[in-house]
Amino acid sequence: MASRSSSSHPAVAVRGLERAFKGGIKAVDGLDLEVPEGEIYGFLGPNGAGKTTTVRILVTLLRPTGGEARVAGHDVVSDADAVRRNIGVALQEAAIDPLMSGVELLRMQGALHGMRGSEARGRATELLERVGLTDAGGRRVGQYSGGMRRRLDLAMALVHRPKVLFLDEPTTGLDPTSRNALWREVRGLNDDGTTVFLTTQYLEEAEQLADRVGIIAGGSLVAEGTPAELKSRVGEPTLHVDLAEGADVPAARRALSTVGPLVDCADDARVAIRAARGKATVPDAIRALDDAGIAVESVEVVSPTLDDVFAAVTGSTLEGAGGGAADGETAGVGA
């Protein structure tokens, strides 16, 4: 009954959350975050950062060893059932029975949420259409491609029209087309009012989808903000030009400096500039070099990666992130 007033609290509220596993690994270590209703929150972090552990706690599959978490206004431990009624979950490994058909799985999921047979059937048809699996619905899931499985998994998470949707790395392993389709779907759901908590290792995904991004490393948040805010900490994309053999490097540097500010480059045959407009900078750069009569071997635009965001907020690389969590916190606050 407490859920009547649910619109007044955040969709996800996490305070001092901790989870230690046997052997002393603290997968989540003092996590604080808050996701208001209606937001798409991107939870970004490298392998082993604690994303899945956090999600599993939020969806009541794992108990925290410290701190607290509330989802849709309900405590994930003491009021787990109320949480379960309000959430949809698509876990990292989409566990779907290869021997069942899409329709069968959706109907079973409907029954798990208290639907009657006819209601569950109707909802299954509706959702299959929504995720573009109408034709494949009767086929066994074992024959589905990775992208189809992901979409079915999403459809299953939506059966009961959840308020808060948890997606753990929904697009890992998908090709660009499938990834785009899934992004569109997630945006559509959010437009309909669903709060989305999504984990990802891809900066681009967070940028494309998330209203706000939290970066997790070593089990705690090292930075948080809108994608634009985070990017501004890292800086802009850079344009790298590899010069042809024997090219006049100083002349190339002069020519390119008219296009954008020069960036230091370790390689002598390479010149780099900041490219605020990303790939749109390429034609200008080529023209400037051409006008100066400089032969170019290749050009590439390098956008900041998660690694760069990491380096910027934590002062360490992704590989070193596990151990660098403590520095990360101070750097994150200071940045």
Partner 1 sequence: MIAAAARESRVVGALGRRALTLQFRRAQLLMPTFVLPLFLLAVIASGTSAGRDLRDFPEVSSYLGFVVAGTLLQGALLAGLTAGIAMASDIEGGFFDRLLAAPVRRTSLVLGRLAGTLGLAVLQMAWFLTVALIFGASYPGGVLGAVGAAILAALTAVGIGGLAIAIAIRTGSMNLMQSIFPFVFVLLFTAPAFFPRDLLTPTLHDIAAYNPLTYVVEGARGLLQDDASLGDPWLGLAAAVGLAAFATGLAVLALRDRARRT
Ligand X SMILES: Nc1ncnc2c1ncn2[C@@H]1O[C@H](COP(=O)(O)OP(=O)(O)OP(=O)(O)O)[C@@H](O)[C@H]1O
Should residue 201 be labelled a site residue for ligand X when binding is judged by CB under 6 A?
Answer: yes
The contact mask relative to partner 1 for 83-112 (x = CB under 8 A, - = no) is -xx-x-x-x-x-xxx-xx---x--xxx-xx
Pair 332, 222: CB distance under 8 Å: yes
Q: How far is the CB of 99 from partner 1 (least distance, A)?
A: 4
The contact mask relative to Mg ion for 47-76 (x = CB under 5 A, - = no) is ----xx------------------------
Residue 86, CB-side half-sphere exposure with 13 Å CA sphere:
28
Within the chain, strands assigned E span 12-20, 26-35, 40-44, 66-71, 74-75, 87-90, 164-168, 195-200, 212-217, 220-225, 238-243, 262-263, 270-274, 296-302
Pair 238, 273: CB distance under 8 Å: yes
Q: How far is the CB of 96 from partner 1 (least distance, A)?
A: 7
The CA distances from residue 89 to 42, 79, 148, 167, 227, in Å, are: 15, 17, 17, 6, 24
Should residue 161 be labelled a site residue for partner 1 when binding is judged by CB under 8 A?
Answer: no
Binding segment (CB under 8 A) for partner 1, from list 82-90, 122-130, 237-245, 258-266: 82-90
List the interface residues with ligand X, window 16-35 (CB under 6 A). 21, 25, 27
Residue 20 binds which of partner 1, ligand X, Mg ion, none (CB < 5-8 A, kind-dependent): none
Burial tier of 99 (Cβ tally within 10 Å: 0-12, 13-18, 19+): exposed
Binding site for ligand X (CB under 6 A): 21, 25, 27, 45, 47-53, 92, 201
Q: Give contact residues for partner 1 (rule: CB under 8 A).
A: 59-63, 81-82, 84-85, 87, 89, 91, 93, 95-97, 99-100, 104, 107-109, 111-116, 156
